[in-house]
Chains A and B, each alone.
Chain A
């Protein structure tokens, strides 16, 4: 961990003085982390290096949806829970993929498998209502998805991961 904290200090040093440095720094720290998230000690390290109060760093990290405070899966499956998708069966889709992966949504509305291969989360609306139900896997949008198709997509990622 010491090495990791030193690398964070290097990230902070490279951006010190930039306008809005905190956001870019947290972005860099998250990108270079294992499992794409910000650890408490990493946030504290950034706060100390930038001389910004801990609570303010936490405020920024919890405000932006982009930042994760829990480990994320290798693959992120986002199920749209907007009205159009809901009427076209997004709830069964969500339940199906959760059951397939053996996880349940936590308080924060997401779930990650124990092997950190998959994170399932929801979104209020993708703005692709005509194509409902819509899901995104690793930022690629899939439209008019059936339960079987979704499981097939997930299976192929699972098999890909095993190769």
Chain B
């Protein structure tokens, strides 16, 4: 790194910034946020929207501040009349072809285009529409809905899909006035390698990509007296929901969240963290089994459904490395509709499981055909026909959808009194909380695996190497007499690096954790928008704080999990476990369409 600083003057203020700094980022340093609709710090600069222009002395033209780096002595003016006029005109041009149907748009009041139009002083639409064709809405995906008509062609979604996730399910197709974002042959996301991660929806400045909503279905189920509706909440919701309800970035709202779900009308409020602890039990024992019986290593975690679709699609020859454990969401559905239904004396056909997830891919995961372990389990006992098949998880709501439902019933979230999860599927440990952060599943698994293997008590349960904020991290542990190397990756681009190592026979690791989204589930595609690196840092901190305050921090010490094994599953990797908690993978093809 060249440490030399560059001196610039921004709006009359002198400042020294690092070489290579973009003008837009330098402006931030003097407290000026330059408006933009296409720039994504650290991810992409495409220069398509033109609203980030500034005036640079001795430059005849206005300069797009996201595309230019500072030079020595540069004099930048960010709000001359010429700049303000140009930004406004560029915004008006973007709006010319944008359907001004804000009231019926999911992003209404949380839309960058809308907010910036207001901020830049647009009060009328002077330019007529030039696009005549109505583009078909892509509703093929179980997770996402794309409306090309609302798109301003900023390229952010294409960029995150290509460079962050290395999936490239979408690209700019056509040219000129007919340009749009689309998939191969325009066949829709479901017929593309899309992993359903939803990072595109997080960065979209308009309502052109949103999650496929299940709000109405859930409201209907909640008002049906013949149903028992159970809800499970993923770890990352407790640091996301408060944000969506206006309580500040990364606000930790576990107890208010539980009360709000009761107020919505759920019959039981349970925690995905319960089955996160269960996942650790199964996964840690699977790892020990793989190590001691010379089965394929490294073993890779399987909690993140975008990641599962990714490896199945792009590295089908490596699916044997995946842990056979279902994700905590799916373990919950299977356990709720067997163990809990039986215990509570409920007919499993009248039980509905709703998941609140920080994730759009969870919608896809719940709909996978093999995710009906409870149905298969009851089938013999109750003599059920195939037409009576029910899924383990019925509906998945993102953090954003839950927030909208709470707004719809007019619940005053900020003054809500807290309450606790219901028993027994509501009990969890610190190991389960940290599933929300990249590195957390690994850390929780190690807390259990190390104690199980060595028979000793871990003094320090916090593995600091795994908490470093990097796309790929690694750690070496001494367990007994052997050293075990482990790695953690977040984003699919980083996962690809570790998979290529395995492919080349060069992977030094025994265990790898992969999360699809940046920083893990707290940065998931279903989380509140915006979800910048700065905001994610606050969510990460809140998760670790919740872990520190949990009376029990190791999954194998969860008393409700012990009871589950004693009364139902018998032991990790038992026959019942395999039937309900483990799964198989499909070999896909990235070039199938």
Which residue numbers of A lie inside 8 Å of B, CB to CB? 40, 43-44, 47-48, 53-59, 62-65
Contacts and interface: CB of A to CB of B under 8 A. Distances in A.
B173 A54 contact: no
Interface string B481-517: 0000000000000000000000000000000000000
B593 A40 contact: yes
A64 to B, nearest CB: 8
Interface stretch (B27-35, B164-172, B335-343, B380-388): B164-172
A55 B591 contact: no
The 4 A-B pairs with the shortest beta carbon distances in the complex, nearest first, are: A53-B168, A54-B184, A59-B171, A55-B171
A40 B186 CA distance: 11
A64 B591 CA distance: 22
Q: Is chain A's binding surface mostly helix, strand, loop or mixed?
A: helix
Contacts, number: 53
Given A55-B183, A59-B171, 12 more contacts: A43-B184, A53-B171, A54-B183, A54-B184, A54-B192, A55-B171, A55-B184, A58-B182, A58-B183, A59-B172, A62-B173, A63-B173
Nearest to B167: A53
B192 A62 contact: no
Contact of B171 (A44, A56, A64, A65): A56
Contacts of A48: 591
Nearest to A63: B175
A31 B166 CA distance: 31
B185 interface: yes
B590 A53 contact: yes
Nearest to B175: A63
B174 interface: yes
B305 interface: no
Contacts of A44: 184, 591, 593
A59 B193 contact: no
Interface string B6-48: 0000000000000000000000000000000000000000000
A58 B173 contact: yes
A53 B165 CA distance: 12
B184 A57 contact: yes
8 contacts: A40-B185, A40-B593, A44-B184, A56-B168, A56-B171, A58-B183, A58-B184, A59-B172
Nearest to B183: A55
Nearest to B591: A48
A44 B193 CA distance: 13
A63 B167 CA distance: 21
Nearest to A59: B171
A40 B183 CA distance: 13
B593 A62 contact: no
A54 B194 CA distance: 11
Contacts of B174: 62-63
B195 to A, nearest CB: 13
A47 B168 CA distance: 12
B176 to A, nearest CB: 9
